[in-house]
Structure formats: structure tokens, C-alpha cells
């Protein structure tokens, strides 16, 4: 924590000064962002041998974003650090540069160099194809918050779609909250091991083509490099994360037909001569104007299959799982919305239920409630680690 | 966590008369269609445009909230396809950087993609919901999508005064599915063929909403644009006002600026 704080102190003012200097030089600087406070309450006492019996965990976060545009908007510099402050001794405090890049827009192409976020995929339950960025394991239970990834990214736009080429020179490890606390692993973690001789400096490559053809949105991708998911090598009293070298080909398809969105993501991953495939597919169906109001009710169903051998590849909770969800959007002035979903494991009967509600108040505030409930999970289903970590989080976020 | 953003936004290409001529009029006796067609022709040739606007949402008690948007648009090359547009949200702050890309169609549903800046995710969304509220306003999606000529059938009612001007009154009946209206009674001024007022009649034949288009300004000596649009909902008593800034035309945008792949490059 001390180191990251030192980094923040050293880095941030320098960046801000750089921006101000650039801004003084013509061009346009925009500052935006958010600051948030939250309280997370755990419904049960933790599983033994937990380090703390506390159930209430307050925390803060801060995420400013500076955008400097010049050359008629064709060149832009973006810096966006994320700061989490959490004084609960669970190892959640951290700082990450979500974005710190220069981007140039040419005629029919663009080039980005620096730290950035890239999202691939169409499914809602499982970001199966999405592989450029590492999950921020300290933030999100279901892994939609990502760490910034150093990259060079060339995009070429043409009539037959968009082609993206990526060179990824630095690997980001998945981080965990302090083992033995909440929403984390039960045993201490050793330093990670890598299949690549270059360790974290292995240079990864990725390419993706995407296009929209009528009602179809299609993308194909290929990745070669360090797996974003660690395999856990179990020792008697500790765990060693191991990052393999993999090749992964991905396909994303969405078919949009009136109020139905049909979705499919599938991957084939190979490593050391072993190969497996995984897929997630389903639909999102929206009923408009329910209760004779402007509200929309969405129904979601997705099925997850994963054919990996847990001895050879990282464990996935999406091996044979059905997701059922519903989303209510009131479409009112304050964008009130509610989402409830459940992931059901067909093999082990483990259930993870997730709920999220939010609305705006005033012009700049969002109040949100989130909850995760875990049930029926038995080892080795990874959800068993968090069986006693059912939680409710209330958050208040101010945008500026 | 697993996040969704409601597929709730649609295009905000304005209710300009400057839309497309989508079919030739074979029945010259149909004066209503001729008037709408004339309004259409007079607006063609803008190629691409950009404008900032403020949306003011006012409830029954007169309390207001403001939203700010930027809209870029690309005129369709011929009358078989619709215009393309990009709506970039600037406020409220939590929606800043959210972008809606639309490829308008004549009678089918528009193609629409939403860019969610927090995740940098592009999501194709459904546009079959025509009657829902746009952005919490009294404008529904079908009010703000491109009013292509070929989307309606027309009847001429007569001439009536509209404020200080005289207007042609034309009944437009939606020919596309899922409309919330039976008729749009549209007043075009007889001099410039600009829509001045629209009475929206619901599916049961009752007055539903009224739109007043005002503060017309002439750009480049030929394109008339209403700078203020005031939509009043007769059923709820709520009002939404759109106040436009200065339009820029023929700014060199191309199809490439309106693709899903380009969304991450827009700031």
C-alpha cells in the first residue's frame, strides 16, 4: 500500500502538470470522473479460519479522467487512474492506471499506444472471448472491472469491417483480496509462476475482425500469449498461481430481431498440445411498456458450457451453468433500474444470485445497491470459497 | 459485476422537414403527400451536420432538469436508405461519453448500437420499441428518429392559420409497425413548407401530445432548422424542450465515422 501510494504521489501530479502544460499550448482539456463511498455488509460470519469476524466494510474510490485533444481532435491523450481506499485489512486498497494512452486517428485507421481497456464479446454472464485486459480481482466478484493493459493497438476500418491488431508487452497478474478474509481464496498465495521464460514480460499478440452485416454482428479473434486465468497449484498450506502460454481463437455472434437479441460466444483454447472448447449462448428479450408505463422488462437466459479438464487448465465456474436474469428499466427521468440474475450449476447445484439496483438523484449522484448470495456450493466448485460471503453493498457515487 | 445498460436510447435526428424523398408520388391528386414531398426536397443536400443541444425536462409542477447532447448526422446517398447519426451524451455526468449510433431504415427497425464508456463496450440494441420515452423525456423514440418520407401515408386536410403564418394541414399515418399514434396532424407553413406544429393522436383517437417547432433559422441560405422544439404531453402535463445550438453543415463526415468500429475513437 505504501508503495502504491508513493507511486500515486509521484505519478499523478506529474501527469496533471503535463496535461496542464499541454492545455496551455492549445487544444482542449476535459476533466471528468467520479468519487464514491460504499458500505459492504456480509450477512454471515466468515468461514474459519478467517482472520476477521467483522461484517461491515466501508470503502472509498476515486476515478478521475483527463482527456486532452489536439490536432482537430485527431490526437488525444487520456489519463485515468483508479484509486480504491479500503481500511479493512483485506488487501483491497489499490491504485491502477485504467487508461494512460496516446491515440491518433488517421483516415480509415487509428493507432493507440499506452495503457487502455478493450472489451470484446456479446454475452452478459461470462466474458468468455474477452481476453485483452486482466480482471480487477480486488473490485468485482463477477469480474467486469478490468485492469489497464499496456498495448499498441492498430485499428483499420474498411467496408468489410474493422481489423484490430494488438501487441501486449506487459502481463498483469490477477490479484486477490488477502487470503482467509472475504470473497477470496482460503490459503496464502505464493509468487506466480509462468510457462514463459520471459515471465511477465512475455509479448502477447492478438488480432480481431469485427463487422455488422444486416441484423448480424460478428467478430472473430485470435490471441497468442499468457493466459489471463491462473491455474492454482495446490501445496499443503499455500497456493501457487501458474500462468500458462495459450493460443485462443474466439467467435462472437449477435442476431438482433425486433425485441430479441440472440447471442453466442465460443472459444477454442490450446496449450501444450491440449485443446478444449467453451461456449456461452442465449437470448435477451425485452418487453416494452409494461404496467402501461414507459418501463422495459428484459428477460435473459444464457447457457455456459466449458469442456476444459480442471487438471490441465484453470478452474471455470461456467462449466455447465444456466443463467436466468431479469432487468427492469423504468426509463424515468432518473434512470431507475433493477437487475436480478442467478447462475445455476447443473452439475453441483451451486447457485450464485446477483442483484443490482440504481437510480440518479440530483444531476450528478447515483445511489446503488448490490447484492451477491451464494448457496449449495461444495468443493471443488470455486464458489464454495465464498459460501459464507453473502453480501449487500450500498454505494453513493458523485460524478463530476 | 454483471452490468447491463438498458437498450433505451434511440436516435435524436431532429424533426426537420429535411428528410428523404423515399418514393415517387404516382397519385398527383394526393396533395398531402405532395406537400410533405416538397418539404422533403427543400431540405436535401446538407450531406453531414453537427449540432449541440440542451434538453429541458419539466414536470407538472414546473421543476426542470437539463441534459446536454451532441449530434452528428450523415445524409443518405439515395432514398432507399435512411440517414446515419451519432448521439453523444454530455450530461448528466454519469452518462457522459455514452454514444448511440443509428442507421435509420425506411420501414424496418433502425440498426442501433450503444457505446458504454465505463466498460468500453459496444452493444447492438433492439430498436423495435417505438413508443418508449427517450432519455426520460416526453419524446418517444419514433418522435426523434429520422422522419423519412416513405414511413407515412398522407391526407390533405386544408389550410389554417398557425400563429402569424398560414399553414397546410396534413394528416400523416404511420406505415411502420409498433407506432403509438394513429395520426400526426402536421402543420406546414405555406411559404417555406416548414413543420410548425404537430398534434399527435393516440391509437384510440384521443389527443396525446403536441409539438411546437419554433425559432426557425436559415443556414447556408437554404436549410431551415427549428432551434426550439417544445413537446407537451396532454395526458401527463409534462413538457420537454429541445434547444439547439448553431448547426454546422457539410463538415466532411463519411460512412466510416458512423461505424461500430469507430465508436471508441469518439470523445
pLDDT tens readout for residues A184-230: 888 888 999 999 999 999 999 999 999 999 999 999 999 999 999 99
Q: Which of the pair, B93 or A383, is modelled with greater confidence?
A: B93
The reported pTM is: 0.88
Per-residue model confidence (pLDDT) at position B253: 92
Q: What is the DSSP string of B33-54?
A: HHHHHHHHHHT----EEEEEEE
Give the ranges where chain A is alpha helix by DSSP (H): 2-24
Interface touch A296/B122, C-beta < 8 Å: no
pLDDT value for B2: 31
Q: Check pLDDT > 60 for residue A93.
A: yes
Q: What is the ipTM of this complex?
A: 0.89
- A255-305 pLDDT, tens digit each: 999 899 999 999 999 998 889 999 999 999 998 877 767 788 999 999 999
B97 contact residues in A (CB cutoff 8 A): 32
Long-range contact pairs involving A302-306 (C-beta distance under 8 Å, separation at least 24)? A302/A123, A302/A124, A302/A125, A302/A126, A302/A263, A304/A125, A304/A126, A304/A128, A304/A278, A304/A279, A304/A280, A305/A278, A305/A279, A305/A280, A306/A276, A306/A278
- What is the rounded CA–CA span in Å between residue A227 and residue A270? 10
Domain that holds residue A194: 2-399
CA distance A79 to chain B (A): 13
Domains parsed from chain B with CATH numbers:
39-251 (2.50.20.10)
Q: How far, in Å, CA of B17 to CA of B42, rounded?
A: 8
Q: Do B93 and A32 touch (CB under 8 A)?
A: yes
Listed range (A118-127, A176-185, A323-332, B14-23) with the worst mean pLDDT: B14-23
The single residue listed with the C-alpha cell 446517398 is B77
Residue A359 above 90 pLDDT? yes
Residues comprising chain A, all counted:
400
pLDDT of the residue at A7:
45
State whether residue A193 sits within 8 Å of chain B by CB.
no
Report how far residue A157's alpha carbon sits from residue A210's, in angstroms, rounded to the nearest whole number. 10
Q: Which whole number is the average pLDDT over A24-33?
A: 83
State how many domains chain A has: 1
Distance CA B160, CA B175 (A): 26
Q: What's the pLDDT band for A49 if we cut at 50, 70, 90?
A: low
Residue contact B136–A331, C-beta within 8 A? yes
Q: Do A356 and B132 touch (CB under 8 A)?
A: no
Does any CB of chain A come closer than 8 Å to the CB of residue B120? yes
Listed as ranges, residues in chain B with pLDDT below 50 are: 1-29
Q: Do A366 and B94 touch (CB under 8 A)?
A: yes
Query: How far, in Å, CA of A129 to CA of A131, rounded?
Result: 6
* Average pLDDT for A6-34: 64
The CATH number that applies at residue A195 is 2.40.160.10
| Alpha-carbon distance B29 to nearest alpha carbon in chain A (angstroms) | 36
Spatial contact of A108 and A158, defined as CB atoms under 8 Å apart: yes
What is the spatial distance between Cα B185 and Cα B196, in angstroms, rounded to a whole number? 11
Task: Tell me the C-alpha to C-alpha distance, in Å, between residue B228 and each of B68, B215, B243.
Answer: 14, 6, 5
Q: Report the distance separating Cα A229 and Cα B136, nearest Å.
A: 41
B6 with A157: Cβ contact below 8 A: no
Give CA–CA dist B130/A342, Å, rounded: 30
The beta-carbon neighbor of A286 closest among B7, B92, B133 is B7
Q: What is the pLDDT of residue B187?
A: 96
Asked if A349 has any chain B CB less than 8 Å from its own CB, the reply is: no
Please check whether residue A265 is in contact with residue A129, taking contact to mean a CB–CB distance below 8 angstroms: yes
Pairwise CB contact (< 8 Å): B1 & A334: no
Per-residue pLDDT of B7-22, as tens digits, reads: 333 334 443 433 434 3
What's the confidence (pLDDT) of residue A17? 53
Q: According to the model, what pLDDT value does residue B25 have?
A: 41
d(CA A143, CA A75): 31
Can you give the pLDDT at residue B228? Answer: 97
Tell me what percent of the residues of chain A surpass a pLDDT of 90.
66
Q: Do A339 and B262 touch (CB under 8 A)?
A: no
Q: Judge: A144–B1 Cβ closer than 8 Å, yes or no.
A: yes
Would you state the cell numbers that stand for residue B127, as one nine-digit string? 430498436
3-state secondary structure of A212: strand
Q: Nearest Cα to B106, choosing from B42, B136, B162, B150?
A: B150
Q: Half-sphere exposure (CA, 13 Å, Cβ side) for A122?
A: 30
Residues from chain B that touch A122, judged by Cβ atoms under 8 A, are: 123-124
pLDDT in tens, A132-161: 999 999 997 765 899 999 999 999 998 899
pLDDT digits (tens, 9 = 90+) for A224-248: 999 999 998 988 888 999 999 999 9
Query: How many whole angstroms separate alpha carbon B119 and alpha carbon A148?
Result: 11
Banded model confidence at residue A82, pLDDT cuts 50, 70, 90: very high
- Collect all residues of chain A within an 8 Å Cβ-Cβ radius of residue B125: 256, 261
- Within an 8 Å CB–CB cutoff, is residue B256 touching chain A? yes
State whether B6 and A161 contact (CB < 8 Å). Answer: no
Question: Which of B67, B84, B117, B126 should be substituted to probe chain A, the one whose Cβ sees the most A Cβ atoms within 10 Å?
Answer: B126
For residue B261, how many C-alpha atoms fall within 13 Å in the half-sphere facing its CB? 26
The grid coordinates of residue A179 equal 487470503
Q: Which residues in chain B have Cβ-Cβ distances shorter than 8 Å to A103? A: 265
CA-based nearest residue to B256, from B10, B81, B72: B72
CB neighbours of residue B126 within 10 Å: 20
Grid cell locating B205: 383517437
> How much is the pLDDT for A25?
62
Residue A50: the pLDDT is: 58
Nearest CB among B57, B119, B132 relative to A288 is that of B132
In the beta sheet, which residues pair with residue A155?
Answer: A110, A164
Compute how many other C-beta atoms are within 10 angstroms of the C-beta atom of residue B60: 10
Q: Mind giving me the DSSP string for chain B?
A: ------S---------S-----S----TT-HHHHHHHHHHHHT----EEEEEEEEEEE-TT--EEEEEEEEEEE--SSTTS--EEEEEEEESGGGTT-EEEEE--SSSPPEEEEEETTTTEEEEE-----SSBSTTSS-BHHHHS---GGGEEEEEEEEEEETTEEEEEEEEEE-STT-SEEEEEEEEETTT--EEEEEEEETTS-EEEEEEEEEEEEETTTEEEEEEEEEEETTT--EEEEEE---EE-----GGGGSGGGGGG--
The SS3 call for residue A3 is: helix
Amino acid at each position: 500500500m505504501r508503495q502504491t501510494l508513493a507511486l500515486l504521489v509521484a505519478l499523478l501530479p506529474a501527469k496533471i502538470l503535463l496535461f496542464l502544460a499541454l492545455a496551455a499550448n492549445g487544444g482542449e482539456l476535459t476533466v471528468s470522473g467520479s468519487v464514491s463511498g460504499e458500505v459492504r455488509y456480509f450477512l454471515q460470519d466468515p468461514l474459519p479460519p478467517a482472520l476477521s469476524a467483522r461484517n461491515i466494510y466501508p470503502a472509498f474510490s476515486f476515478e478521475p479522467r483527463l482527456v486532452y485533444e489536439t490536432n482537430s481532435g485527431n490526437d488525444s491523450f487520456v489519463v485515468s487512474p483508479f484509486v480504491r481506499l479500503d481500511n479493512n485489512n483485506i488487501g483491497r486498497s489499490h491504485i491502477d492506471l485504467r487508461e494512460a494512452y496516446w491515440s491518433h486517428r488517421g483516415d480509415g485507421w487509428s493507432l493507440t499506444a499506452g495503457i487502455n481497456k478493450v472489451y470484446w464479446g456479446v454475452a452478459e454472464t461470462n466474458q468468455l472471448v474477452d481476453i485483452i485486459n486482466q480482471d480487477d480481482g480486488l473490485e468485482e466478484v463477477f469480474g467486469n472491472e478490468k485492469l489497464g493493459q499496456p498495448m499498441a493497438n492498430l485499428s483499420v476500418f474498411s467496408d468489410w469491417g474493422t481489423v484490430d491488431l494488438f501487441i501486449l508487452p506487459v502481463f498483469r497478474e490477477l490479484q486477490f483480496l488477502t487470503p482467509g478474509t472475504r470473497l477470496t481464496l482460503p490459503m496464502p498465495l505464493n509468487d506466480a509462476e509462468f510457462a514463459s521464460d520471459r515471465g511477465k514480460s512475455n509479448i502477447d499478440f492478438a488480432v480481431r475482425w469485427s463487422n455488422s452485416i444486416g441484423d448480424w454482428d460478428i467478430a472473430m479473434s485470435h490471441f497468442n500469449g499468457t493466459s489471463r486465468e491462473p491455474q492454482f497449484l495446490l501445496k499443503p498450506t499455500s497456493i501457487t498461481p501458474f500462468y500458462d502460454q495459450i493460443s485462443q481463437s474466439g467467435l462472437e455472434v449477435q442476431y438482433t430481431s425486433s425485441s430479441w437479441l440472440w447471442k453466442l460466444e465460443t472459444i477454442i483454447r490450446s496449450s501444450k498440445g491440449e485443446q478444449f472448447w467453451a461456449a456461452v449462448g442465449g437470448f435477451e428479450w425485452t418487453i416494452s411498456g409494461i404496467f402501461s408505463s414507459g418501463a422495459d422488462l428484459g428477460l435473459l437466459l444464457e447457457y455456459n458450457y466449458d469442456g476444459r479438464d480442471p487438471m490441465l487448465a484453470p478452474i471455470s465456474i461456467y462449466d455447465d451453468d444456466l443463467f436466468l436474469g431479469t432487468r427492469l428499466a423504468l426509463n424515468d427521468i432518473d434512470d431507475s433500474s433493477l437487475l436480478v440474475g442467478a447462475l445455476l450449476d447443473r452439475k453441483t447445484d451451486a447457485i450464485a444470485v446477483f442483484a443490482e439496483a440504481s437510480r440518479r438523484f440530483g444531476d450528478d449522484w447515483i445511489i446503488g445497491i448490490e447484492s451477491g448470495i451464494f448457496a449449495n456450493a461444495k468443493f471443488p466448485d470455486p464458489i464454495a470459497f465464498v459460501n459464507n460471503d453473502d453480501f449487500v453493498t450500498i454505494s453513493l457515487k458523485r460524478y463530476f | 459485476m454483471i452490468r447491463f445498460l438498458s437498450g433505451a436510447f434511440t436516435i435524436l435526428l431532429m424533426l426537420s422537414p429535411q428528410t428523404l424523398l423515399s418514393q415517387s408520388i404516382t397519385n398527383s391528386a394526393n396533395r398531402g403527400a405532395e406537400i410533405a414531398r416538397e418539404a422533403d426536397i427543400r431540405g436535401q443536400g446538407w450531406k453531414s451536420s453537427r449540432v449541440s443541444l440542451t434538453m429541458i425536462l419539466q414536470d407538472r409542477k414546473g421543476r426542470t432538469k437539463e441534459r446536454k447532447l451532441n449530434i452528428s448526422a450523415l445524409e443518405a446517398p439515395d432514398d432507399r436508405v435512411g440517414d446515419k447519426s451519432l448521439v453523444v451524451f454530455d450530461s448528466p455526468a454519469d452518462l457522459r461519453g455514452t454514444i448511440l449510433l443509428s442507421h435509420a431504415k425506411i420501414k424496418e427497425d433502425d440498426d442501433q448500437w450503444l457505446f458504454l464508456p465505463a466498460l468500453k463496450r459496444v452493444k447492438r440494441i433492439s430498436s423495435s420499441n417505438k413508443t418508449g420515452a427517450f432519455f426520460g423525456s416526453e419524446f418517444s423514440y419514433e418522435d426523434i428518429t429520422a422522419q423519412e418520407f416513405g414511413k407515412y401515408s398522407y391526407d390533405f386536410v386544408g389550410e389554417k392559420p398557425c400563429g402569424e403564418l398560414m399553414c397546410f394541414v396534413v394528416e400523416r399515418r404511420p406505415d411502420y409497425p409498433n407506432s403509438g399514434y394513429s395520426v400526426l396532424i402536421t402543420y406546414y407553413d405555406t411559404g417555406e413548407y416548414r413543420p410548425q406544429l404537430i398534434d399527435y393522436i393516440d391509437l384510440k383517437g384521443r389527443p396525446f401530445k403536441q409539438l411546437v417547432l419554433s425559432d426557425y433559422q436559415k443556414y447556408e441560405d437554404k436549410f431551415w432548422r427549428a432551434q426550439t422544439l417544445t413537446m407537451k404531453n396532454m395526458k401527463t402535463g409534462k413538457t420537454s424542450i429541445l434547444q439547439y445550438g448553431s448547426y454546422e453543415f457539410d463538415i466532411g463526415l463519411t460512412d466510416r465515422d458512423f461505424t461500430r468500429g469507430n465508436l471508441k475513437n469518439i470523445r
